[in-house]
Amino acid sequence: MRTLSLLVVVLCAPILVGCVAHVELGDTVMGTTMKVEAVSRSLSKDELNKAALDAIKAVKRVDALMSTWREDSEISRLNRAEPGEWVELSPETYEVLVLAIEVAKTTDGAFDITVGPLVDLWGFGPKSPPVPTSVPTDEAIEAAKAITGFRHIVIDANNKRAARAVEGVEVDLGGIAKGYAVDVAIETLKKRGVKDALVEIGGETAAIGLTRERDPWLIGVRHPNQPARFLTTIELEGGTIATSGDYFNVYEIGGRLYSHIIDPASGRPIINNVCSVTVLATKCALADALATGLMVMGPERGLALVESLPGVEAIIAWRTGKDAIEVRASRGARHYDVRP
């Protein structure tokens, strides 16, 4: 995995009238890359740089709390606990776990933080063989489904703790934690006095204010069939965006493509031909989780749900042929120039 080098660019000293400090930092966090770009007309170079470093530090704390790859994380501790054994959680982990369960209920189980056994079974998880050579049997799918289901996670709101109700059920916050980390980074920058910034972690993005040219932050949404071009571009001045797609993590068996997006209800990869979902929301954690949930729900159910959620918009693309796609957007996102 390539580690990004830290890069600081200062246009001019901010003490001069009309001059702008501009800092861009990169790092590797949560198994992917992170970018922080911040602009200020009032903070010094050192203050802006420290704010960006603090944002990265805050994200690393989120990773330390919620990563399933770390044996000492709170989520790993929860997954090792005996059924019915309460595990006390930090405010951060508790907040993400509660939101994840709320999104699971909102999407009727399409987003599910316990889907790991099915992901492993279908060859997309850390416990999977490098290249699957056959699809799982019906019996294996049913066995994995028996230890899948967000309702097997019990929350004690009074004491900020959680427990597993069934042996074998495991929590994986990978579908929401990066979005939450983006939110944490943005809040950290705000607390340090930064008013104009962009944070991106593995494609999940949030922005506040404007660029150093005083323009909105411009975010490109990758075309699912043509990665070299954009499906559309989104202007962000104060919001978040997350995209989920099937175009990077698929394999073929018997002439059929299988996606890493698993439908918890069927226990199988999605078959609705949805290839890309982009969600805009006030919080990136919500956008992150909904992007996965809407992939499973499909265009009709997904857009109907989005229209009922305040402050949420979505763009959904699905395949209608070998190289053809169709795109639909929620009411508040129809003004974007989409080029399928």
pLDDT reported for residue 254 = 81
Contact 257, 250 (CB under 8 A): yes
pLDDT reported for residue 128 = 66
- Same-domain status, 254 and 295: yes
Look at 237 and 241; give whichever has higher pLDDT. Answer: 241
Residue 9, in any domain of the structure: yes
Q: Looking at the 3D structure of the chain, how many domains does it have?
A: 3
Residue 33, in any domain of the structure: yes
Residue 290: both structure tokens together: 């909904």
Amino acid at site 44: S
Residue 48, in any domain of the structure: yes
Give the side-chain half-sphere CA count within 13 A for 114.
26
Contact 186, 180 (CB under 8 A): no
Give the side-chain half-sphere CA count within 13 A for 138.
0
- Same-domain status, 234 and 278: yes
Percent of the chain at pLDDT exceeding 70? 93
CATH at 300 = 3.10.520.10
- Same-domain status, 27 and 107: no
Residue span of the structural domain in which 94 resides: 80-164
Residues 67-103 have pLDDT tens digits of 998 999 999 999 999 999 999 999 999 999 999 999 9
pLDDT reported for residue 11 = 33
7: phi then psi, degrees, rounded to nearest 5: -135, 125
Contact 240, 183 (CB under 8 A): yes
- Same-domain status, 31 and 144: no
Residues 247-299 have pLDDT tens digits of 777 888 887 888 889 999 999 999 999 999 999 999 999 999 999 999 999 99
Residue 74, in any domain of the structure: no
- Same-domain status, 222 and 279: yes
Residue 75, in any domain of the structure: no
In this structure, what is the dihedral angle of CA atoms 26, 31, 32, 37, given to the nearest 10 degrees? -30
Residue given tokens 């991106």 in the structure block: 200
Contacts for 225-228: CB closer than 8 Å, 24+ residues apart: 225/275, 225/319, 225/323, 225/325
181: phi then psi, degrees, rounded to nearest 5: -65, -40
pTM of the shown model: 0.91
In this structure, what is the dihedral angle of CA atoms 64, 82, 109, 65, given to the nearest 10 degrees? -10
- Same-domain status, 259 and 190: no
pLDDT reported for residue 12 = 39
- Same-domain status, 229 and 279: yes
- Same-domain status, 117 and 140: yes
User: Which residues make Cβ contacts (< 8 Å) with residue 310, sequence separation at least 6?
Assistant: none
179: phi then psi, degrees, rounded to nearest 5: -60, -40
